[in-house]
Structure 1
Amino acid sequence: MGSPRLSRRDLLRGAAVGLGAAAVGSFGSGSGAAAAGPGGGRTAIVIGSGFGGAVAALRLGQAGFITTVLERGRRWPIDPGGNTFATFDAPDGRAAWFSTRPPINPLTQYQSIPRYAGVVEEIQGNGIMSVHGAGVGGGSLVFGAYTVQPRRRDFEQIFPRSIDYGELDRVYFPRAKSVLGTSPLPADLLARPEYVGARSWLADIADFGGTPTFHDLCVDWDLVRAEFAGTRRKSISVAEGPYGINSGAKNSVDHNYLPRAEATGNVTVLPLHEAVSIREARGRTGFEVTAREIDEHGTDLGMHTFVAERLFLAAGSFHTTALLVTARATGTLPRLSPEVGQGFGNNGDFLISRVMNRREYGSKQAGPGVALLYDDADPDGSVSMSWQAAPFPEIAGGHTSTNLIQAITPDRGSIDWNHSTGSVELNYPYPEGVSDLDVRAARFAGRFHDRADVRYGYPANGVPVHTRLAGFGSAATYHGLGGVVMGRAADHDGRVHGYDGMYVVDGALIPGSVGLVNPSLTITAIAERCMDRFLTGKG
């Protein structure tokens, strides 16, 4: 199941050489955390290696901070033979983070798989399931490759005025796009027979009376062309993606930000090290992070304590928040704001499947996507709708499509400490059909059906399915945001209230939504802004 892991001796040697600050101590043996090494106080720990953590690692490394990145998952180097990741139609342990069933796939949900340090974790909350990535690269390994810049009008409905959209537009969105390597679906690929689904979606937008907004995707299109040429394993071209891309065509951050960070010589990434607790450093300025080291099969290899002057949390909205909620509840960080844990949103995600479409979409749909439909005339408020290529089996494919509706709503949940269980839980108190999102998105799905299908004489076609019983609607989100929201639990530059030197630079900082688009680009750009302000002394 993938490449051999580094030995524990190799990992600790790397920590001793590359860390300095985040020095390793044998927590379990009672020796305590080692003192900071050569860094002159310029030492940092980053928890998590997804979009936000990768940005923090690169900018800290470039600025000369001796930095350790703690990542709970393993590395996923692309196998030249095309067998790095599990596939959607034949999942195995590589698909799931220590689960015995394949995640996010109703077609294989009753299949048994071995427990393994796979790439997708499902957090089953009370009212919603939140999906997160695991591995060096975090959520970028498994996201849909959508890197869409939100419109100013939508962004400014959500973010505080101190987050200047104009500055993001001039500086940080372009910077993030440049490093990630984003671009729209090229015309030569769109014209291929395998991209019939993308063309059908554009035709459906036209029938609705809308105009497509072509957006960027985090894809190396030359490698997709190689898939068609037979020199790379087919992956994006057959709608793989939720479990990783075997051709290497997805520009996840382990292909750009993280290698550049490690190349500075100041950054050490430690895979299979899961942060479990945070406290103020004893007898000095800074923070202690205790991490559990495991192997790919979950075997416990020991607990280690890392110490640094600065701490950057980037473990994803749920896990970043859970670490802080736990620290507040257990008294290791008692000055944390009561706002920590509040403001969790699902980015307005509402998934539908359109069955019996009058147009051919294909079965193994080449993707990942192509364009957004914005509807600003919707009486309930602006909404967007996108198409996601999906690997339907032949019996179900052809005339079936998967679409994501997104709306800006006030619906928010929380990430809370449960005193009876002594653990953290996700609470999202909106039964199906009750929330603002459910009502508005279901109405829009019906309007889209009426305008794009029924008025053309196809009353039975394109029927939208969005019941939670089938895993659709607002039952789940890949885009959980909030929990340590800017202006509430942290300042607008990511500094956590109550603790100088502690920062949040991932989706936990975002106020529940980014505005009718997937959040990957916005998280990356906001992290770039936070790091600029930290390094220039403005934040």
Structure 2
Amino acid sequence: MNRRGFVKGAGLATLLGLAGVGTPTSVARADDVRPSPKTPLYRELVPEIFAPLPDPADHVPAIVIGSGFGASVTALRLSQSGIQVAVLERGSRWPSDPWRDIFVSDTIPDGRGFWHRTTFTGVNRIPVPVDSFGGVLDVCSYPGIDVWRGACVGGGSVVFTGVMIEPEQRFFDHVFRGVVDYREMHDVYYPKARSILRPSVMPADIYNSFAFAHSRAWDEQVRAAGYTPQPIDGAWNWDIIRDELAGRSRPSATVGCSNLGNSNGAKFDLNQNYLRYAEETGYARIYPGHRVDAIAKEPGASGRYTVAVTKLAPTGEVLRTRTLTCDMLFLAAGSVGTSELLVRARATDALPNLNEHIGEGWGSNGDVALARPLTTLEVGTQGTPSASRILDEEGAPVSLESWFIPGMTPFDITILASLGIVLDDTRGRFVCDPTDQHVDLQWPDDGTDGYSARALEVNDNVACHCRTTSQPALYADASFTAHPLGGAVIGRATDEYGRVCGYENLYVMDGAAVPGSTGTVNPSLTISALAERNIEQIIRSGG
């Protein structure tokens, strides 16, 4: 394959680091009882995920569905208030260790990487079989766009690339339109979230190491084009990355691993902060392997909710089905998961009072994968943490972040990657067929065209100022998002603090509440800060 073909083939996989997903691929049911042929190997490598799973009580005062950013914030603050909380997570609870082979690499993934998929498509565009297993990343294919979701305890924090940026006020206000006050978020809740998540900029010694030659080349390119690269905060343990560089830990973040997990704990995922702190209160318990299939009002019980749960082994085997009840129900299963539960509940009359805004306002955050030629002969493995970004406002506002090629060897592959994030108003909606309860995402046929072209325009501008070592074709791919947002938008489907309209003690606490975009930045910090704001008000007001 020539370099032009490689770059075009890399597209989606190049940017967000996953060489294994580039086109819609086959999905196996999570309750498919046929075990992966690699199950004995996984039992040997990661016995912890095969340990007997705990069961929640039949009734819990508060249930949190999901264990990502919004869920973890919610669980901590509820438990600190003395409220018993059950955190339900469909995926496994994966350990970390400096040397063990816990997570699979991004380059040659297996079942540990994907949530019950049967194939993946690599950079050569050839579908390759993968064993169906309860891995950490769920790739949902909809007409016109793929959506990446975490499927493990810690949710997206295990499979993201650590970037945490507060949006600028003018972009924040454009998105939230006065429902959420930026100054309050800036002064109180962004700092509150940062104090727990601990993001920081890349230290100079790491930036100047062999694993980040691509970051230095990226910065040189944007400077040549007239931009000033801005340092990025990342949720990384720089001491563990130093251990990798010094040979004191297995290579992970320094060789382009991130999107299928970091075995050595190099990333400050939520298992190291919010979730751990919640459990330490004694009031919160996490229940892996518990998939929530439906929610409803309990018949004849004022204020209570029912939660239909399937208990799953990592192989997909169904261990048990139950219906739990709770007094307070917090939805934080990610934009897709939360939206699915709500639109299904409305379509089946399980929650008939949900308003017309449920399922609406879904966006991709304007994500675009970009590639351009390399401009240095100093080539090492491409480390995962992102060092810097630029912002261009000559047209629709767009940021480009320095990115990485996943898990590649130190050979010259002649390209650099960027993540483009465009401030874009394209929106889709979730709909449910009540006959089979299937939920689908309706996304415009040309939904990605405008923001993809805008991101490519900026990438082209940078490339045309570069003296490159090669001339592969430039490429932009918006056929995916790793940042799904919306579907239960704050101030529309909910009140201004996430209380679902039409019901008491039912809340949306995650990216589903965000109106489709976080204003040219990655959403994790905003989701966390918004959850801090909302749960504080919910607790203070008594519901």
Match for 1:416: what amino acid? V
> Secondary structure of the residue that 1:518 maps to in structure 2?
coil
Of stretches 170-179 and 287-296 in structure 1, the one that deviates more from structure 2 is 170-179
Percent identity reads 35
Provide the residue aligned with 2:85 in structure 1.
67
Task: State the SS of the aligned residue for 1:343.
Answer: coil
Render the CA deviation track for 1:496-519: whole Å, top value 9, x for unaligned.
111110111100000000001110
Question: 1:525 aligned to 2:542?
Answer: no
What 5-or-longer segments of structure 1 have no aligned partner? Answer: 16-22, 25-34, 37-42, 467-472
1:108-507 superposed matches below 5 A? 110-284=127-301, 285-354=303-372, 356-360=373-377, 362=379, 364-376=381-393, 378=394, 380-391=395-406, 393-394=408-409, 397-419=412-434, 421-431=436-446, 435-450=449-464, 452-453=465-466, 461=471, 463-466=473-476, 473-507=477-511
Deviates more, 1:277-286 or 1:505-514: 277-286
Partner of 1:30 in structure 2? none
The alpha-carbon distance between structure 1 residues 127 and 167, as it changes in their structure 2 partners (threshold 3 A), is same
Letter in 2 for 1:74: S
Aligned-pair CA distance for 1:382: 1.9
Does the Cα contact within 8 Å between 2:485 and 2:516 map onto a contact in 1? Answer: yes
Shift of 1:80: 4.4
Deviation by residue 1:89-137 (Cα, 9 ceiling, x = unmatched): 221110000112247x435862222211100111101111011010000
Aligned length: 498
Q: Aligned pair in 2 of structure 1 residues 273, 373: CA closer, same or farther (>3 Å)?
A: same
Q: Aligned partner of 1:440: which letter?
A: R
C-alpha deviation, 1:381, in angstroms: 2.5
User: 1:92 aligns to what SS in structure 2?
Assistant: coil
Query: Secondary structure of the equivalent of 2:128?
Result: coil
Displacement after TM superposition at 1:3 (Å): 2.5
Contact 2:150 2:158 in 1 (8 A): yes
1:294/1:64 CA distance change after superposition, 3 Å: same
Letter of the structure 1 residue corresponding to residue 54 of structure 2:
L
- CA distance in 1 between counterparts of 2:521 and 2:216 reads 20
Partner residue in 2 for 1:4:
48
Q: Structure 2 vs 1, CA of residues 382 and 360 (structure 1 numbering), >3 Å: closer, same or farther? A: farther
Tell me, yes or no, if the aligned pair for 2:50 and 2:314 is still in contact at 8 Å: no
- Residue 276 of structure 1 deviates from its aligned partner by 0.4
Instruction: State the one-letter code of the partner of 1:231.
Output: R
Q: 1:131–1:478: 8 Å Cα contact kept in structure 2? A: yes
Structure-2 separation of matches of 1:175 and 1:110: 44
Cα distance, 1:176–1:78 mapped onto 2, change above 3 Å: same
Question: What residue number does 1:40 align with?
Answer: none
Distance in 1 between the 2:100 and 2:73 partners?
A: 28
**Letter aligned with residue 312 of structure 2:** I
Does the 8 Å CA contact 1:3/1:77 hold for their aligned counterparts?
no
Letter in 2 for 1:78: S
Give 1:448 deviation, angstroms: 2.8
Question: Please, what TM-score do these two structures have when normalized by structure 1?
Answer: 0.88
Cα distance in 1, alignment partners of residues 250 and 371 from structure 2? 27
Shift in Å, 1:365? 0.4
Alignment check: 8 A CA contact 1:318 1:508 kept = yes
The answer for the alignment partner of 1:28 in structure 2 is: none
Q: What RMSD, in angstroms, separates the aligned Cα atoms of the two structures?
A: 2.0
Q: How many Å apart are 1:172 and its aligned residue?
A: 1.1
CA contact (8 A) 1:127 1:430 kept: yes
Distance in 2, Cα, partners of 1:266 & 1:300: 28
Q: Give 2:527's aligned amino acid.
A: I
1:313–1:512 Cα change, 3 Å: same
Alpha-carbon displacement from aligned partner over 1:1-32 (angstroms, at most 9, x marks no partner)? 21234665x613xx3xxxxxxx32xxxxxxxx
Q: Distance in 1 between matches of 2:472 and 2:462?
A: 9
Partner of 1:288, secondary structure, is strand
Residue type of the partner of 1:252? D
Name stretches of at least 5 consecutive residues in structure 2 with no aligned partner.
1-41
Q: Distance in 2 between matches of 1:236 and 1:329?
A: 44
Deviation at 1:181, TM superposition (A): 1.6
1:156 is displaced (CA, Å) by 1.3
* Preserved contact between residue 357 and residue 463 of structure 1 (Cα < 8 Å): no
Give me the whole-angstrom Cα distance separating, in 1, the residues matched to 2:471 and 2:483.
Answer: 29
Contact 2:212 2:380 in 1 (8 A): no
Match of 1:268, SS state, is: strand
Tell me the TM-score normalised to structure 2 length.
0.88
In structure 2, give the amino acid aligned to 1:4.
E
Deviation per CA, 1:407-432: give whole Å up to 9, x if none. 11111111111356530011211337
CA distance in 2, matches of 1:7, 1:371: 41
Shift of 1:179: 0.6
Q: CA deviation at 1:159?
A: 0.9
> Which of 80, 101, 104 is equivalent to 1:86?
104
- The CA deviation string for residues 225-271 of structure 1, in whole angstroms up to 9 with x for no partner, is 11112121100011111100112110010111101101111111100
Tell me which amino acid in the other structure corresponds to 2:507.
Y
- Partner letter of residue 182 of structure 2? Y
| 1:283-338 deviation digits (Å, cap 9, x = unpaired) | 32221111100101000111112211111101000011001111111111111112
Go from structure 1 to structure 2 and tell me whether the alpha carbon gap of 1:7 and 1:249 turns closer, same or farther (over 3 Å shift).
closer
Q: What secondary structure does 2:292 align onto?
A: strand
Cα offset, 1:370, TM superposition: 0.3
Contact 2:364–2:484 at 8 Å: present in 1 too?
Answer: yes
* Alpha-carbon contact 2:103-2:260 (below 8 Å) kept: yes
